[in-house]
Structure 1
Amino acid sequence: MHGMGHLVEVFFLLLAAQLVGWLFARLKQPVVIGEVLAGLLVGPALLGLVHDGEILEFLAELGAIFLLFMVGLETRLRDILAVGKEAFLVAVLGVLFPFVGGYFFGLSIGFAQLPALFLGTALVATSVGITARVLLELGVLSRNYSRIILGAAVIDDVLGLIVLAVVNGVAQSGTFELAVALRITLLSVLFVGGAMLLVPWLRRVSLPRFTLGNPFGFALLVGVGLAALAAIIGLAPIVGAFLAGMLLAEVREELAIEEHVRAVGQFLTPIFFAMVGVRLELTALLSAKVWLVGSGVLLIALVGKLLGGFLGAWSQGFRRAVVVGVGMAPRGEVGLIVAALGLAAGAVNEEEYALVLFMVVGTTLLAPLFLRPAIAWAERAQASGGSP
């Protein structure tokens, strides 16, 4: 009976995501926003038909993994390396500006040093799943600005993880542990670098003999395996899934797996975005102080990533640099994890946690709204042969 209850919740989640997503598509708005609002509608905040739990949380994580796996299948390593310098600059500046801005803003409104550090850290990591969904919807994954965003997101996750390890270490022990930061950095570099070193080997071997007659099963093994390995190391599983997709992109014509992966993703990905809405705590967002101070945090979160992305991708031209900046703006589960860690460690209080929640919701809803017209603006210039 317990399992049947979960099945009913999945049905309501998919039904709401399908209907509200369809409505947003008809209104020419990002479907991902519709799916988030669908989760809010059926979640505890409103209708109460769906509640957060381990099983739905796991399905949502699988949805994020398959989304980035699909995106990876559209992205070859040589395309990422071609924009490697810009991706690195975008990631570094996109971490530096929000962290510094959030930290000093926290101090200016009366936060102690440790809560201010957690606030800055919560503003660091990009939730690339939201941007990737919009890029996939619009069919622009082959564009240089998309490759910069995706490459920067991988580097961004590594940098964000290092910052989080340092700040959390300070909260737990009161001291900066260099050994922890170095270990995480080394493991992250070895993981990403090792995956990239496999690409030349994949180009040389005949993969069908490794698939045992089941290319899709082999693809699932690689995708889930690298996502799990990333999680073991401490990286976000979506980084491993993206790298797995990028590896298999080298032989995607030979394996013919894209349609199968896309079919599974169409089932799981809406669950991921709808569960963002299910988890929203409206009561924490209704305070006038949270709205007032949270607007300042939201502004820093948006401007910090926009400025970092714009300056890092300046070589691509004005309009494409704007697209990169907007594409790096969404925050998501990483920001909430940072705030939750701070709450558990006693470094932040409920009100400070609510500010991070406000920022995550704001960037999740606003970034896709701005990203679509920004991409259309850049594409019009390219089509007309005008200024990029």
Structure 2
Amino acid sequence: MKRSRCGAWCLMLASGSALATSSGHTGELLFGLFWVVLAAALMGTVASRFGIPAVVGQVVAGLLIGPSVLKLVRPEEFFLTLAEIGAIFLLFMVGLETRLGELLRVGREALLVAVLGIALPLVLGFGFGFWQGQANVSALFVGTALVATSVGITAKVLQELGVLNDPFAQVILGAAVIDDILGLTLLAVVSGLGAGQDTTAAQVGLTLGLSVGFVALVLTVGIPLVRRGQARLQELSLSRAFNVALVVGLGLAALSTVAGLAPIIRAFLAGMVLAEVKDEVAFESTVHAIEAFLAPVFFVVVGLQVNLGALTQLPVVIAGLVLTVLAVAGKLLGGLLGARSLGRREATLVGLGMVPRGEVGLIVASLGLGAGLIGEPVYAEVLLMVLLTTVLAPLALRALLRRERLVQQAP
């Protein structure tokens, strides 16, 4: 009898302890979310007041409240997941503002920008690593880190300025899709080489084929299906139409394990499919409301993941600055050459739009460090490059666009 009572009491105490621990962790996460949302709102507003893209202020907010400065929030799995969902909704919203016909009109330029924007940074990054005396695989991984592009950051700046439908913006978005396909294929190959695996041409071709095939399938099958169901969609209430949009967007994003594409690119494709009926079916405003909440979380978490403590050594800073120059030059030159048919101004904007590395660069760098492909010093150099391209490129893009607007408005 005593044993049973003791067992019951022990069970109750253990359950209460687990509940308290769970409750404490939940409270910590809620406080963390509070700081993330507050910092995003404050720094985004401050940045906008000074004519700086809100996304830059939000990335800086992440740096301030993160482990490197105030230590208010840690980049836990919860925030990383929430940030990824924010990026998905951001690109879904961008897709809703992009029609396939507009993208196809700049298909040639988008392909050239993507290919050159991968080849040039890859060569420059490999050369930099080779000059530093790194092993071939390590140098190749540095080149792969330079290939990465965070289209989410550029897309938000273009969305803020209301230029998503301009030809140069369509080239950036089209190039981002191709860049994702080729870049992730390259990452898979380099990671395989680093792990000592035999990466065959057939495996590379399969990865590439799955990615290209999925994009083609979504656009060639999805758009006709949505057009056929347009009449039924128009009969739905706002909430039900939104549910349909949500299922399509998240459903395609969730298929990332099948074809190797990043979820944000799939969300962009889903948005493009639904863009064909957005004028007849009113769900864009509700999607925008969710995106307006979650997208800033994504940019703050980008800042949270940056470890400023790794950038305390002068040789690392100098090497990181050199790597940043190469990273900017590779993408900018790729845009200037690939989109030169649009004119020098638009081609420059395209190049700048492909410069930010953001969360994609952080992920690539973390993979390289975790797999032992690069050491701590090289990781810190790549980290500085990611931080500078993420913050400076949107500033340059906005400044150039605003200057062009002033010139056009001048009498």
Q: Same fold (TM over 0.5)?
A: yes
Q: How far does residue 24 in structure 1 lie from its aligned partner after superposition?
A: 0.7
Matched to 2:310, the amino acid is: A
Alignment match, 1:151: 174
* Partner SS state of residue 173, structure 1: coil
Number of positions where the alignment pairs a residue of Structure 1 with one of Structure 2? 385
Q: What's the CA shift string for 1:322-347, capped at 9, x where partnerless? A: 10000010002222222222222222
Q: CA RMSD in A?
A: 1.7
Pick one of 47, 60, 63 that aligns with 2:86: 63
For 1:122, the equivalent position in structure 2 comes to 145
Secondary structure, in 3 states, of the residue corresponding to 2:306? coil
Alignment equivalent of 1:23, drawn from 18, 34, 46: 46
Q: CA deviation at 1:180?
A: 2.3
- In 2: Cα distance, 1:181 partner to 1:167 partner: 11
Q: CA deviation at 1:297?
A: 0.6
Q: Which residue of 1 aligns with 2:291?
A: 265
Contact 2:337/2:347 (CA < 8 Å) preserved in 1? yes
Q: Which sections of structure 1, spanning at least 5 residues, go unmatched?
A: none
Larger radius of gyration: 2
TM-score w.r.t. the length of structure 2 is: 0.90
Pairing 1:80–2:103 present: yes
Opposite residue 350 of structure 1, the aligned amino acid is E
The unaligned stretches of length 5 or more in structure 2 are: 1-22
* Aligned: 1:204 with 2:232: no
Per-residue deviation, residues 73-92 of structure 1 (Å, max 9, x unmatched):
00000000010000000000
For the pair 1:374 / 2:400, whether they are aligned, the reply is: yes
Task: After TM superposition, list the pairs within 5 Å mapping 1:179-218 onto structure 2.
Answer: 179-197=202-220, 198-206=222-230, 208-209=232-233, 213=237, 214-218=240-244
Q: CA deviation at 1:254?
A: 1.9
Question: Structure 2 residue aligned with 1:178, among 183, 201, 216?
Answer: 201
Matched, 1:344 2:370: yes
Distance 1:16 1:207 in 2: 43
Letter in 1 for 2:288: R
Q: Do the aligned residues in 1 keep the contact of 2:234 with 2:281 (CA within 8 Å)?
A: no
Aligned partner of 1:288 among 278, 292, 314 = 314
Say whether the 8 Å CA contact 2:253–2:267 is kept in structure 1: yes
1:99 matched residue in structure 2? 122
Q: Alignment partner of 2:249: what SS?
A: helix
User: Is 1:279 aligned to 2:316, yes or no?
Assistant: no
- Equivalent pair of 1:131/1:328 in contact (CA under 8 Å): yes
Distance 1:381 1:163, change over 3 A: farther
CA distance 1:72–1:209, shift in 2 (3 Å): closer
* Percent identity over paired residues: 52
Are 2:280 and 1:254 equivalent residues in the alignment? Answer: yes
State the partner residue of 1:90: 113
Q: TM-score, normalised by structure 1?
A: 0.95
**SS at the partner of 1:190?**
helix
Q: Which amino acid aligns with 1:147?
A: Q
**Conserved 8 A contact 2:233-2:241:** no
Task: Check 1:267–1:380 CA distance in 2 against 1; reply closer, same or farther (3 A cut).
Answer: same
Which position in structure 2 is the counterpart of 1:306?
A: 332
- Alpha-carbon deviation of 1:382? 5.8
164-173 vs 131-140, which moves further: 164-173
Residue of structure 1 aligned with 2:391, choices 358, 365, 370: 365
